[in-house]
Every structure is written in C-alpha cells, then in structure tokens.
Structure 1
Amino acid sequence: MSDLFAPEGGWRVRILDLSGGAQDNITEEIGGFGTLMHANAFARRYVRDSVERCRVPGMSSKDVLEAWFAFGEDAVVLDAGDAGWKSTTELGDFVDTRASAEERDWRSLDPRQDEFDLEGDEE
C-alpha cells in the first residue's frame, strides 16, 4: 500500500489490551484518520498516555515497563507497514521520561471527537 493514499474509510488504529482481557487482545479499532501522520500521532499519544497511567511515583523505569506490559494498551496503525508508528521504537524513552499533558493528549487527535462533543452540547 502506498504511503500517499489512505485505505478506503481512512487509516485505522488498533488498540491492544496487553493484560489479555480482550479477545485476541484487541480492545477496539478506530478508523477515519485522513492521513498516516494523523494515525501515527494518535497511536503514539495513546501509548504514551497508557504508559503514564501505569506509572506510580517512585517506580523505576523497569517497573513502569513491566506494569505497562501487564496492564497497559498498545496501538498499531493497520496496513501501514514500515511507515506505521511502532511502540517498540520509543518505549524505552517513554518509561524513562514522564510525559507532558500534550504528549498524552490522544483525545484531541481522535477522529471520533465530534461524536463525543455532541453528547454534552445539546440541551
């Protein structure tokens, strides 16, 4: 697949439950990303947030990593091949360094955010 063209329906990101609580470890698939860059940025921030949710004050990097593999969520950009973001390339940095709020903000990149906004806006 070419990096220039999104698959029909847009790029998709698969969320994987590392705790094994979901069938085939798949929690959900999120579609509608117009560009590969958008899908990659979402996946990166989603995993970054997951790592931070596993972090407890005083944990070593090794402890954070073990907690993430036991309880965290990974994200994979489907059909992107080598052009898709992979958690393995940055996981070491993620567990070593706390994330800023912006680095964790996957919600602002979620193509479903308009659906979420509408739920609370109507009176």
Structure 2
Amino acid sequence: MSDSTADSDESGWRVRILDLSGGAEDGIVEEVGGFVDLSHANAFARAYVRDSIERCRVPGASPREVLQSWLSFGEDAEIQDVGDEGWRSANELDDFTANPATPMERDWRALDPRRLVEDEDDDVDE
C-alpha cells in the first residue's frame, strides 16, 4: 500500500508553499503532492492562501494593512508546472484582503491530499 502512496505523491500536480517572511530556505516551506486533478490543486492553494491572509488580519485593519501584514508574515501557494492554468494569489489579493473569509473558504485541511490518503487508510482498517 505504501508504494501506491509514494507513486501518487511523485506524480501529478504539486503545490509549493512559500514563506513570505523569508524565514525558509529559498522561501519554500514545503511542497504538497497527490492531488486528484488540477482543480483540486487550485482549490487547495486558494484555501491555503485565504487562511494565511486571515491569520494576518487584525480587528480594524484596512485591506492595505492586511496585505502588508500578509506580505511580511504570511504564506503564499503556487501550483508547479501548470502555466496559466494554475491559480495565482495575485489575481485575488484585493478581494481577499477587503473581505474576510468564511470558515469554509479557508479550510485547506479538508482539501489536503495527505489527509485524504490517511482517511482512506483508516477506512480500510475498519
């Protein structure tokens, strides 16, 4: 069973998580693989950034202040090797900083393929 998991992690779409604070080597925190399709990877990246922006939001902050905080302390996500088909945070930053996210919009954990594999393994044991 671990061989198939390794295969799914090695192929397909990968989302790179970037530390905007500059604390990680080359700015890369991690790469997540194993997405079912490109729309799955795009949804994960979008929710991940949405959550990162909300963690940088403080009560009463203007959209500009939220953006500045995110650019200093947040994390970005990009889909590797997909060209124009991949989701890009720059396309939605104005909306994200101006409008707080709902819990569902920022729930990247529900879309994390690493969690999906663990859940499938748990179902097999039952």
- The TM-score, its normalising length taken from structure 1, stands at 0.87
Instruction: Tell me how far 1:114 sits from its aligned partner.
Output: 3.9
Aligned match of 2:113: 111
Greater helix share, structure number:
2
Instruction: Tell me how far 1:82 sits from its aligned partner.
Output: 0.2
Report the CA distance shift for 1:103/1:13 in structure 2 as closer, same or farther (over 3 A): same
- The letter for the 1-side match of 2:36 is G
CA distance in 2, matches of 1:114, 1:82: 27
RMSD value, Cα: 2.1
CA distance in 2, matches of 1:116, 1:69: 32
CA distance in 1, matches of 2:114, 2:82: 20
Q: Deviations over 1:52-108 (max 9, x none)?
A: 000000111110000000000000000110000000000000000000000000000
2:95 maps to 1:93: yes
Of the three residues 67, 70, 74, the one matched with 2:69 is 67
Percent identical residues: 63
Of the three residues 73, 80, 83, the one matched with 1:81 is 83
Greater strand share, structure number:
1
CA distance in 2, matches of 1:81, 1:46: 19
Q: Which runs of 4+ in 1 moved over 6 A?
A: none
Equivalent residues in 2 for 1:34-49 (5 A)?
A: 34-49=36-51
- Count of residue correspondences: 115
Q: Secondary structure at the match of 1:65?
A: helix
Unmatched 5+ residue regions in structure 2? 1-9
Unmatched 5+ residue regions in structure 1? 1-7
